[in-house]
Amino acid sequence: MEELISYLLQFGNLNQEQIAMIQSKAKLKTIPKGAYFSQAGKIADKIGYITEGVFRVCYYDKAGEGYTRYFVYENRFVADINSFRDEVPSAEYIEAVTDCKLLVFSKEGFEDLSNTITGWSDIFLKITSYVMENKMKASSNMLVQDAHTRYLHFLEYYPGLANRVPLSMLASYLGITASSLSRIRKK
């Protein structure tokens, strides 16, 4: 819980009463490897703060082939924020790549915090902006880089993550085949 509060305090101020309210709304949840935190076609009804583990945000084509858009890991929030905020069906899946532990806020609990804590919405606007800016930097580099450079960039941007996710998911994220990634890793 301390990590969550420290993370939130990077984006705004909270007093002890507000912190206690946040702690009362967060519920510890475990999601096993391979299970979904949210699914395409369903409205996201929760937002989680990852304390342990790795998720991937992905989608599947008509043939059932999965494509990894990005990874989310410890000390970050995970949610389909558009589905959660606007109550529209999600277009993607959030899948546990490893066994995961999260502090989860229900839609109702999150709205209670928004209605009670002055600045809660501003904190999440700042978090969302920060996350989007980092995603844009990562994805814009991938458009102009060759596969080897994309892999090196991944290692730099996500230190230690390459050893925690399956080769096929990493290859999908990088936009290359698993065999190509194996060759790149050997170099």
pLDDT at 16 over 90: yes
Residue type, 99: D
Q: What is residue 158's predicted lDDT score, i.e. its pLDDT?
A: 85
Q: What is residue 131's predicted lDDT score, i.e. its pLDDT?
A: 87
Alpha carbons 50 and 76: distance in angstroms, whole number = 6
Q: What is residue 30's predicted lDDT score, i.e. its pLDDT?
A: 98
Q: Is residue 42 within 8 Å of 147, Cβ to Cβ?
A: no
Q: Is 42 left (phi over 0), alpha (psi -120 to 50) or beta?
A: beta
